[in-house]
Amino acid sequence: MYHGAAARFLASIRQKGLLRGKRDYVHLSPDEGTAHKVGARHGEPIVLVVKAGQMHADGFTFYCAANGVWLTQHVPNQYLVIPI
């Protein structure tokens, strides 16, 4: 899975992981292109790789919305591949 974000949030993501903020869930994309488009809506985009398989094996729950977006409560930073 992938998550698109604005580069200006990278320091916070490195420290806290992906938080849902004011939303009910963290939104994840099944493909890198979609994640890039989402991140670009908020500034200079970055695309994070989410180790969803490992998260699921460790007991995290995911939901698939009708529009194909994957949802989860939180993505701790140890499950992220963050670009340099």
Distances in Å between the alpha carbon of 42 and those of 6, 36, 54? 5, 10, 28
pTM above 0.85, yes or no: yes
pLDDT tens per residue, range 14-26:
999 999 999 999 9
pLDDT tens per residue, range 43-62:
999 999 999 999 999 999 99
CATH number, position 65: 3.20.170.30
**How far is 10 from 5, CA to CA, in rounded Å?**
8
Based on the structure, what is the number of domains in the chain? 1
Count of beta carbons in the 10 Å neighbourhood of residue 27: 18
For 21, the domain range is 2-81
